[in-house]
Structure 1
Amino acid sequence: MIQKDIFVAFFRSGILGYGGGPSAIPLVHREVVKTYQWMSDEEFADILALANALPGPINTKMAGYIGLRVGGFWGMINAIFATIVPTVVLMVLLLTILNTYKDEPWVMGMSQAVIPVAGVLMGVLTWDFIVKSKASLGWKWTLFLLGISIVILQLLGIHPALFIGALLGAALMTKQKKEKPGRRRIS
């Protein structure tokens, strides 16, 4: 039963997530966190951050990890397969149609509509994470960290993987300082 649920969850997000990773991430979030409740919002945010830091298509990386976590090795294979198949089928079909009707105004309009839709989906997901951060950090720290993140990533052009690694390192160092000497936990 779990293998069927894994396939359905990632197939749905793959088939409806036209436009690549940014448009499918909110769909994966809905399936994994809200529909099947395989993990919390915080766990999903951690997986998303890690997947963004690694090279390759984000949907495939997230599907592989979540599938492994939920259904073991075969869950990983199942989730990756369910993520890739819709993309391959849709690419073949849509590229054939788009090539045939590429000069039609409706095709040009459809192609241009993908960008704002993906932007809105990512905006909604980002807002959800900001609201959840407010609950754990408070508005002052959430807005401060958001502002610093924008400056570092956009204005300074630092790669997200380096930024995420620095944040994880700082969090681990802070955690170790809070633990008493002699009672260190080994993770």
Structure 2
Amino acid sequence: MNQWKLFLAFFRVGMLGYGGGPSSIPLIHTEVVDKYKWLNKDDFSDVLAIANALPGPIATKLAGYVGWRTGGVVGMLNAIIATTLPTVFLLMLLLSTLNHFKGVAWVQGMSNAVVPVVGVMLATLTWEFIEKSKESLGWKITSLIVVASFILLYFLNVHPAILIGCLVGYAFFSKSKNEKKKKVKAS
């Protein structure tokens, strides 16, 4: 039964993730965190950060990890197939249909209307991540990281993987430093 739920969850993501990886992330979050509770919000944030730093499609990486965590190797394969199968079929169907009707106004309108919807979905998820960061880091540090990240990504065109790697490195070394201070105080 768990394999069936895993397949359905990622099949829905594959069917409804129109717009690529960015639009799939909130859908995966809804299925994995809210509906089935395979991961909590903190775990999902951590997995998303690592998956963004790795090469390849984000939906497939998330599906593979969640599938492996909930159902082992079979679960991993199940979730990856469920994520990619709809894309293959929909790609063939939609591209042939859109090519045939590309001059029709409603087709152009549909394509244009998807962009703001994906933007709102990403903004909502971003706000949840900012609130989570605020709880652990406080508003000052969170605001500093958000502003610095925006400047580095948008104005300086720094690759997101570099930024994520730097933040993970900072978190790792600051945690190690704090643990050493605690050991010194304890002795």
Q: Who is 1:72 aligned against? A: 72
| C-alpha distance in 2 between matches for 1:114 and 1:88 | 20
Answer with 119-128 or 137-146: which moved more: 137-146
Q: Who is 1:129 aligned against? A: 129
- One-letter code aligned to 2:23: S
| C-alpha distance in 1 between matches for 2:21 and 2:182 | 45
| C-alpha distance in 2 between matches for 1:36 and 1:85 | 21
| C-alpha distance in 1 between matches for 2:18 and 2:181 | 52
- One-letter code aligned to 1:6: L
Q: Who is 1:88 aligned against? A: 88
Matched, 1:6 2:16: no
| C-alpha distance in 2 between matches for 1:51 and 1:173 | 21
- One-letter code aligned to 1:59: A
| C-alpha distance in 2 between matches for 1:137 and 1:43 | 17
TM-score norm. by structure 2 comes to: 0.93
| C-alpha distance in 1 between matches for 2:18 and 2:106 | 17
Q: Which runs of 5+ in 2 are unaligned?
A: none
Residue deviations 1:111-145, cap 9 Å, x none?
11121111111111101111222222222221111
- One-letter code aligned to 2:96: T
- One-letter code aligned to 1:16: L
- One-letter code aligned to 2:56: G
Matched, 1:63 2:81: no
- Please provide the CA RMSD for this pair: 1.5
- One-letter code aligned to 1:101: F
| C-alpha distance in 1 between matches for 2:77 and 2:172 | 32
More helix by share: 2
Residue deviations 1:168-187, cap 9 Å, x none?
1111111111123796xxxx
| C-alpha distance in 2 between matches for 1:118 and 1:71 | 30
Seen in structure 2, the aligned counterparts of structure 1 residues 132 and 182 have a Cα distance that, compared at 3 Å, is: closer
CA positional deviation for 1:110: 0.8
Q: Matched residue of 1:136: which SS?
A: helix
Q: Matched residue of 1:19: which SS?
A: coil
Q: Who is 2:30 aligned against? A: 30
CA positional deviation for 1:6: 0.7
CA positional deviation for 1:71: 0.8
| C-alpha distance in 2 between matches for 1:62 and 1:21 | 10
Q: Matched residue of 1:180: which SS?
A: helix
Q: Who is 1:117 aligned against? A: 117
| C-alpha distance in 2 between matches for 1:28 and 1:180 | 38
Runs ≥4 in structure 1, deviation > 6 angstroms? none
| C-alpha distance in 2 between matches for 1:181 and 1:27 | 41
How do 1:13-24 residues align onto structure 2 when only pairs under 5 Å count?
13-24=13-24
Matched, 1:161 2:158: no
TM-score norm. by structure 1 comes to: 0.93
Q: Which runs of 5+ in 1 are unaligned?
A: none
